[in-house]
Amino acid sequence: MVTAFILMVTAAGKEREVMEKLLTYPEVKEAYVVYGEYDLIVKVETDTLKDLDHFITERIRKMPEIQMTSTMIAI
């Protein structure tokens, strides 16, 4: 099991909309709107690093409301 925390910058005013969409994905275990440099923090769990890579590149980065991500893999 791979656990990662993904920090995201969204388009202005789209934080809650993005969070609600992300929470529909089974990989997303928790998601919070935060203040500061980032707009969202999302806890993700996948079976493998390859699955995590696919989730980030094929789902998260294809959402036009997400402008930037920073992923931290838990050890």
Q: Say what the pLDDT of residue 66 is.
A: 97
pLDDT the model gives residue 63: 96
pLDDT, position 37: 96
Does the pTM surpass 0.75? The reply is yes
User: Which domains are seen in the chain, by residue range?
Assistant: 1-71 (3.30.70.920)
Q: Would you state the structure tokens that stand for residue 7, as one six-digit string? A: 């920090």
Regions in the chain scoring below 50 on pLDDT: none
Read off the tokens for 68. Answer: 């930037």
Of 74, 32, 40, the C-alpha closest to 60 is 40
pLDDT of residue 44: 98
